[in-house]
Amino acid sequence: MDTMGAYKALFTILIIFMGIMYLSDWLSFLLKTAEHDGIVALQNDAFQTTSVSLISASIFNIFAMIMMTCVTYFKPFGKIKKKR
């Protein structure tokens, strides 16, 4: 596997790991809190911190997917020559 392939695999695993370990729990917490407290949830410090964390992690995931797509499509480091 070339270096770019390794980076793409690492980013993919990182995105999946973040989704499983953090994003789903954060989203569940936000939804439960908003359902229970309504608009008052916006004044809850834990709600605010979790929403910022969810937005930040989502931005990172989107950026990583865009970078992987660009590297795959544009091949900025050149095409890999297959050894015969």
Q: What pTM was estimated for this model as a whole?
A: 0.75
**Using CA atoms, how far apart are residues 73 and 78, in angstroms rounded to an integer?**
11
Give the pair of three-digit tokens for residue 61.
Answer: 């995931």
pLDDT digits (tens, 9 = 90+) for 4-43: 778 788 888 988 898 889 999 999 999 999 999 999 999 9
Give the pair of three-digit tokens for residue 17.
Answer: 């790991």
pLDDT digits (tens, 9 = 90+) for 60-70: 888 888 888 88
Cα 13 to Cα 10, 44, 62, 74: the distances in Å are 5, 32, 14, 22
Cα 65 to Cα 7, 77, 81: the distances in Å are 12, 18, 25
Residue found under tokens 């990182």: 14
Domain chopping of the chain, boundaries: 3-74
